[in-house]
């Protein structure tokens, strides 16, 4: 945790400086609705250098630079330099730095830093989840009509599934799509959101949040309620333990043909 926190703190000041000078930010097109900024690249480079210096044998999975094999086959850093890049380049103050450590096939430590709000979410396997040193617990809401859920954007616009989508919309108090998956998952761990439904989530967007939710007492599964397997892209559902079976039933029905 100390290594990850130190690496993240190295990039926070420059990240906030760039956010305050968006008119000077160099942004290049990386693909349809997918942008990469000069800040992304610089932040990732610094994070890699700092982590490599502290743990020289560990490998990396990074959003921008891809996979780098290490001499230690058991340990891999997973980095998202800026989750919420679209928010960042449009001046929306909702984005985060995410670092997770994978030991063989499980996440054992994670940190998500929201530099604008000065919030540091972290978790270590078996040691709990924390926000700025305060212990986190998922929400205790058991009435789904009082619950907030982060859901895929526009899931209710699928004409073939409009009736099923309408049924889901009727159940919840409200939905959110913040544009920063790492923060959505951290917010479930903190009890700010009651559930999060993610489709084709990249491993760097989900890895840290998975551990945080679990360490905060929540459940993490695939969309059918089965145990989640770490992959490059994942469909996942996280929530507090009181509503998870209900949410799984709704998403299973949504995807049923």
Q: 180 with 87: CB under 8 angstroms? A: yes
Q: 152 with 236: CB under 8 angstroms? A: no
Q: Which long-range contacts (CB under 8 A, 24 or more apart) does 157-163 make?
A: 161/254
Return d(Cα 120, Cα 96) in angstroms, integer. 9
Return d(Cα 54, Cα 132) in angstroms, integer. 23
| Number of C-beta neighbours around residue 191 at 10 A | 17
The topology under which CATH files domain 144-255 is D-Maltodextrin-Binding Protein; domain 2 (3.40.190)
Return d(Cα 9, Cα 1) in angstroms, integer. 12
Q: Which residues contact 33 (CB under 8 A, 6 or more apart)?
A: 86
Return d(Cα 107, Cα 21) in angstroms, integer. 35
Torsion of Cα atoms, 147 then 149 then 155 then 160, to 10°:
-40
pLDDT score of 31: 63
pLDDT score of 38: 87
HEC per residue, the chain: CHHHHHHHHHHHHHHHHHHCCHHHCCEEEEECCEEEEHHHHHHHHHHHHHHHHHCCCCEEEECCCEEECCCCCCEEEEEEEEECHHHHHCCCCCCEEEEEEEECCEEEEEEEEECCCCEEEEEECCCEEEECCEECCCCCCCCHHHCEEECCCCHHHCHHHHHHHHHHHHHCCEEECCCCHHHHHHHHHHCCCCEEEEEEEEHHHHHHHHHHHHHCCCEEECCCCCECCCCCEEEEEEECCCCHHHHHHHHHHHHCC
pLDDT mean by block of 10 residues, the chain; 257 residues: 94 93 74 72 96 97 93 97 92 96 96 97 97 96 94 72 80 87 97 94 95 98 92 93 94 82
Q: How far apart are the first and last CA of the chain?
A: 44
The topology under which CATH files domain 2-135 is Fructose-1,6-Bisphosphatase; Chain A, domain 1 (3.30.540)
Identical topology for domains 2-135 and 144-255: no
Query: Hunting for tokens 């743990």 — which residue is that?
Result: 55
pLDDT score of 62: 95
pLDDT score of 176: 84
Structure-token pair, residue 110: 């994670």
Query: Hunting for tokens 């700025």 — which residue is that?
Result: 132
Structure-token pair, residue 99: 């670092």
pLDDT score of 34: 61
pLDDT score of 100: 98
pTM of this structure: 0.92
* Domain-wise residue ranges, the chain: 2-135, 144-255
pLDDT score of 172: 86
Structure-token pair, residue 67: 């996979």
């Amino acid at each position: 945790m100390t290594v990850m926190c130190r690496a993240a703190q190295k990039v926070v000041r420059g990240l906030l400086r760039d956010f305050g000078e968006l008119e000077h930010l160099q942004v290049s097109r990386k693909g349809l609705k997918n942008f990469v900024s000069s800040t992304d690249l610089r932040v990732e480079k610094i994070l890699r250098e700092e982590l490599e210096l502290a743990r020289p044998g560990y490998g990396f999975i990074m959003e921008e630079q891809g996979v780098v094999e290490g001499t230690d086959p058991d340990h891999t850093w997973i980095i998202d330099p800026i989750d919420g890049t679209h928010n960042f380049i449009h001046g929306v103050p909702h984005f985060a730095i995410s670092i997770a450590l994978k030991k063989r096939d499980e996440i054992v430590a994670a940190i998500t830093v929201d530099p604008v709000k000065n919030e540091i979410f972290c978790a270590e396997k078996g040691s709990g989840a924390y926000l700025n040193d305060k212990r986190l617990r998922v929400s205790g809401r058991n009435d789904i009509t009082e619950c907030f859920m982060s859901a895929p954007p526009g899931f209710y616009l699928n004409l073939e599934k409009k009736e099923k989508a309408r049924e889901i919309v009727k159940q919840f108090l409200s939905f959110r799509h913040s544009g920063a998956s790492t923060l959505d998952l951290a917010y479930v761990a903190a009890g700010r959101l009651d559930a999060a439904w993610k489709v084709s989530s990249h491993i760097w967007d989900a890895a840290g949040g998975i551990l945080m939710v679990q360490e905060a007492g929540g459940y993490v599964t695939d969309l059918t309620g089965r145990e989640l397997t770490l992959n490059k892209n994942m469909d996942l559902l996280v929530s507090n333990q009181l509503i998870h079976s209900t949410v799984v039933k709704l998403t299973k029905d949504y995807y049923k043909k």
